[in-house]
């Protein structure tokens, strides 16, 4: 894909060595999970760790560009495998596919909470749905990877699902774009008038 042409060379192949099976991380505490992913053993839990410079993950909004590029590389490898008839192998071989999406989503959510003046709070998916059953039609009844959702004064967001979309769809989804959108209060009147849509063309998103 043109969006990711500079990320991974077309001839690149990715193999998973025997004996390197990684389990999916079960998230009970978000801070602890992020510390686990960011710690010295975190490289064994995610895909393409050599493509992610974790030293630049300082919870700034700009650090989401680093996450975007890393997820774009995973997307590219997945697409190359699909072209060879092995779609999804890199994502489903073991827990590293899920872990990469979970890590990116939790990091996105924490960046939003760190940089926004709005009161964004994590809630468990099941707790949120019990309190807001109207959302069941939109989100469904099962969380999938969205064990936690981000809840704020203007609604709810699913950062983990945003990361998954980035991996599956590539440049059409951007965690930096979503992060930048969520940290600011939405002027619904202006949004309905279309004035806030200028400069938001997805073709201009990074990665």
Mind spelling out the 3-state secondary structure of 8-19? CCCCCCCCCCCC
Dihedral sign (CA 101, 103, 108, 113): positive
Mean pLDDT per block of 10 residues along the chain (207 residues) reads: 29 37 71 91 91 95 96 85 59 78 95 95 86 66 73 87 88 88 76 45 39
Find where tokens 């704020």 sit.
Answer: 152
In the prediction, which pLDDT does 153 show?
84
In the prediction, which pLDDT does 105 show?
95
Task: Please state the pTM of the whole predicted model.
Answer: 0.76
In the prediction, which pLDDT does 102 show?
93
In the prediction, which pLDDT does 12 show?
31
Per-residue b/e over 91-102, b at no fewer than 16 CB within 10 Å?
bebbbbbbbbbb
Q: How far apart are CA 100 and CA 97, in angstroms?
A: 5
Gyration radius of the chain over CA positions: 17
The full set of domain ranges for the chain reads: 26-122+158-204
Residue 182 backbone class (left: φ over 0; alpha: ψ -120 to 50; beta: rest): alpha
Contact yes or no for 77/48 (Cβ under 8 A)? yes
In the prediction, which pLDDT does 195 show?
44
In the prediction, which pLDDT does 138 show?
60
In the prediction, which pLDDT does 173 show?
79
In the prediction, which pLDDT does 192 show?
53
In the prediction, which pLDDT does 91 show?
65
DSSP 132-173: -GGGHHHH-S--TT-SEEEEETTEEE-HHHHHHHHHHHGGGS
């Amino acid at each position: 894909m043109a969006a990711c042409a500079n990320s991974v060379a077309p001839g690149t192949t990715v193999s998973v060595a025997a004996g390197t099976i990684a389990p999916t991380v079960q998230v009970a505490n978000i801070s602890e999970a992020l510390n686990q992913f960011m710690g010295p053993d975190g490289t064994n839990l995610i895909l393409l760790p050599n493509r992610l410079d974790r030293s630049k993950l300082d919870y700034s909004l700009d650090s989401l560009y680093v996450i975007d590029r890393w997820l774009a590389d995973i997307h590219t490898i997945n697409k190359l495998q699909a072209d060879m008839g092995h779609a999804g192998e890199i994502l489903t071989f073991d827990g590293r596919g899920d872990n990469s999406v979970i890590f990116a989503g939790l990091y996105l959510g924490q960046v939003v909470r760190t940089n926004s003046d709005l009161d964004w709070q994590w809630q468990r998916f099941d707790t949120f749905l019990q309190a807001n059953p109207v959302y069941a039609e939109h989100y469904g009844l099962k969380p999938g990877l969205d064990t936690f959702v981000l809840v704020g004064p203007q609604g709810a967001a699913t950062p983990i699902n945003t990361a998954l979309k980035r991996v599956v769809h590539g440049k059409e989804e951007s965690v930096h774009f979503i992060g930048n959108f969520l940290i600011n209060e939405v002027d619904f009147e202006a949004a309905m008038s279309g004035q806030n849509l200028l400069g938001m063309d997805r073709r201009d998103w990074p990665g």
